[in-house]
Chains A and B, each alone.
Chain A
Amino acid sequence: MKVAIVVFPGTWSDDDCMYAMHQVGADPYKIWHTEKSLNNPDLVIIPGGFSYGDYLRCGAIARFSNVMKSVTSFSKSGGPVIGICNGFQILCEAGMLPGVLMQNDSLQFRCQDTYLKPNSNALSSPFLDKLDRDTPLKIPISHGSGNYFVDGKTLDILENQNRIAFRYSNEFGDIDQKYNPNGSINNIAGILNESGNVLGMMPHPERACDELLDSTDGNAIWNSIIEVVRHKE
């Protein structure tokens, strides 16, 4: 599986994503933001970091780059795209996902393990289809602005179309405000676009990819998409 990892000035998780892709046997390469071609990947990752210094709003400037035009058309043709942390913020600002990531309600930068409950009813998505949706995933967060917000009408649409991918939970999968590290509406940790091929999530699955890191749960997401892609070939 060919994986394009997009790099902006200020991206910091690109090497982590490279490492995680090697862990699961994928074939990753980096794409600098000025590039126009993605080189025919099977998956695009927009990693975390502080693209363009978080100027104006997190993720607001990245959408003007050459590479984002290619990412948009790749996703429109059904190609799977995952935006992690700052990548999620970028996908929202680029209009590929609804809503916005606001400053954490605690005003603190949070760097900690979280548990994510995959939504059992979530719509079909290459990121979730081969994943055990009953088992919570232990995946860390590392952000100051992960407080997901949308207006009530859009939230209803997301819920009714089963586009919530993950919610913050405890290790048993119980979802509650007290396990929510940033104040996200409806305890949302990750959402899908209408067709399920674009996923945005604040937690970092690429940092839960090795026993040394105390969790390999992030690999469940990568293995799901690998299996879906292999099935297509």
Chain B
Amino acid sequence: MTQFNASVYIKLKNGVNDPQGLAVISGLKQLGFEAIDSARVGKVIDIKLDAESEEQAKNDLTEMCEQLLANPVIEDFDISITNI
């Protein structure tokens, strides 16, 4: 078994309204960052796990996302894994 570090990025799907992102845009513009075009707020979940291989780790994390970490109605997820 090898231990892996993973970051799971949960993002709102394209087309799903993100009022938090809109508030961030408005705040940044008020600070003078006029060039900002879009901002979408998501979340990151850092997970440490044991697995036989990186592929196995990725499969496990995908299942975690599908069953709990992301809501498939509104959210997409990306997984990035680094070997410890």
Contacts and interface: CB of A to CB of B under 8 A. Distances in A.
Interface residues of B, number: 10
B19 A56 contact: no
A151 B73 contact: yes
A165 interface: no
Interface in A57-77: 57, 60
Contact of B19 (A60, A98, A107): A107
Contacts of B16: 102, 149
Contacts, number: 30
B74 A100 contact: yes
Interface in B1-46: 16-17, 19-20, 23
Interface in A35-88: 56-57, 60
A99 interface: yes
Contacts of B68: 56, 60
A160 B81 CA distance: 44
Size range of the interface on A?
Answer: 10 to 19
A105 interface: yes
Contacts of B20: 103, 107
A143 to B, nearest CB: 14
Interface of A: 56-57, 60, 93, 98-100, 102-107, 149-151, 183
Interface of B: 16-17, 19-20, 23, 68-69, 71, 73-74
27 contacts: A56-B68, A56-B69, A57-B71, A60-B68, A60-B71, A93-B71, A98-B73, A99-B73, A100-B71, A100-B73, A100-B74, A102-B16, A102-B74, A103-B19, A103-B20, A104-B19, A105-B17, A105-B19, A106-B19, A107-B19, A107-B20, A107-B23, A149-B16, A149-B73, A149-B74, A150-B73, A183-B19
